[in-house]
Amino acid sequence: MSNDVYEIYAVRYGRHVRRSSENFIGGDPHDVLDPIDFYVWAIVGAGRTFVVDTGFDAGMAQRRNRELLKPVGEGLSAIGIDPEKVENVIVTHLHYDHTGNYDLFPRARYHLQDGEMAYATGRCMCHAHLRMPFEADDVVAMVRKVFAGSVTFHDGDHEVAPGITVHRIGGHSKGLQSVRVNTRRGPVVLASDATHLYRHIDDGRIFPIVYNAGEVLEGYATIKRLAPSRDHIVPGHDPQVLELYPPARDGLAGWVVRLDAEPSRPRR
């Protein structure tokens, strides 16, 4: 990896309170309350800012019965990022909670896997079961960005900037990509929905929204190979992330944390 090192921020914007049985194929023997959080991430350093995923807005929260805690733009502003000026957005996949707010970053170039666009615009979307986590308006917005010349496609592993690489994982969504970022504590892997919670990758269990279960499980091995330790893996929806990592600034506890800092205690 290059010598460029970055700060990474996890910005929580939403929450959904649910039971643990809803988070695992095959249910969960404990069946307790097991909320998931919704995040976007920001990578800042070496004169660059990359936003990873764009979240959903208030209208979508209502439509999908999710709680919007703080709008994505507010969270980014709180750490000094002006969405209007962001030049690069990595979209891990096109599910509604990762690719809404599509007017928020007017100057951005979007980084997406070939396979994700093909999946979200192709025959699989004829099936209600597979299109459920997608919103037609989000997908159309991305198509418009393609025609506006503001999308860069990747196929597999690619370095988008020195020290920032994307890695196609698939599984949960056909073209899902995770992001590896060089930081002061070594490479940190933003897994996104390659593992929703720590428990998925720790225990080899699978979140119920899935395109290919085999790829999900192989993806866990890939993520572990990309990360120097379990503490360098950041799951996409785990509320524990906010407890393990320090607030980015005073007053941002429970909202924005620093992922390039050491986690405060072992995860289990």
Taking the complex as a whole, the smallest distance from the CB of residue 192 to Zn ion amounts, in Å, to: 7
Indicate which single residue of 34, 57, 97, 238 sits in contact with Zn ion (rule: CB under 5 A): 97
Q: Of 183, 186, 171, 182, give the one whose Cα is nearest residue 236.
A: 171
Taking the complex as a whole, the smallest distance from the CB of residue 97 to Zn ion amounts, in Å, to: 5
Phi, psi of 93 (to 5 degrees): -165, 170
**In terms of CB distance, is 232 or 237 closer to Zn ion?**
237
Taking the complex as a whole, the smallest distance from the CB of residue 14 to Zn ion amounts, in Å, to: 10
Taking the complex as a whole, the smallest distance from the CB of residue 132 to Zn ion amounts, in Å, to: 11
Q: Which of residues 124-143 bind Zn ion (CB under 5 A)?
A: none
Options 23-31, 51-59, 186-194, 260-268: segment touching Zn ion (CB under 5 A): 186-194
Q: Which of residues 207-226 bind Zn ion (CB under 5 A)?
A: none
Q: Compute how many residues bind Zn ion; rule: CB under 5 A.
A: 3
Q: Check residue 193 for interaction with Zn ion (CB under 5 A).
A: yes
Rounded Cα distance, 215 and 266, in Å: 28
CA atoms within 13 A on the CB side of 51: 33
Indicate which single residue of 37, 39, 66, 95 sits in contact with Zn ion (rule: CB under 5 A): 95
Question: Strand 256-258 relative to strand 233-235: parallel, antiparallel, unpaired?
Answer: unpaired
Taking the complex as a whole, the smallest distance from the CB of residue 172 to Zn ion amounts, in Å, to: 6
**In terms of CB distance, is 69 or 261 closer to Zn ion?**
69
Taking the complex as a whole, the smallest distance from the CB of residue 50 to Zn ion amounts, in Å, to: 18
**In terms of CB distance, is 95 or 232 closer to Zn ion?**
95
Can you give the chain as a three-state secondary structure string?
Answer: CCCCCCEEEEEEEEEECCEHHHHCCCCCCCCCECCEEEEEEEEEECCEEEEECCCCCHHHHHHCCCEECCCHHHHHHHCCCCHHHCCEEECCCCCCCCCCCCCCCCCCEEEEEHHHHHHHHCHHHHCHHHHCCCCHHHHHHHHHHHHCCCEEEECCCEEEECCEEEEECCCCCCCCEEEEEEECCEEEEEEECCCCCHHHHHHCCCCCCCCCHHHHHHHHHHHHHHCCCHHHEEECCCCHHHHHCCECCCCCCCCEEECCCCCCCCCC
**In terms of CB distance, is 186 or 239 closer to Zn ion?**
239
**In terms of CB distance, is 97 or 215 closer to Zn ion?**
97
**In terms of CB distance, is 177 or 183 closer to Zn ion?**
177
Cβ neighbours around 184 below 10 Å, total: 12
**In terms of CB distance, is 25 or 253 closer to Zn ion?**
25
Options 88-96, 120-128, 144-152, 225-233: segment touching Zn ion (CB under 5 A): 88-96
**In terms of CB distance, is 9 or 119 closer to Zn ion?**
119
Taking the complex as a whole, the smallest distance from the CB of residue 196 to Zn ion amounts, in Å, to: 7
Taking the complex as a whole, the smallest distance from the CB of residue 184 to Zn ion amounts, in Å, to: 27
Binding positions for Zn ion, rule: CB under 5 A: 95, 97, 193
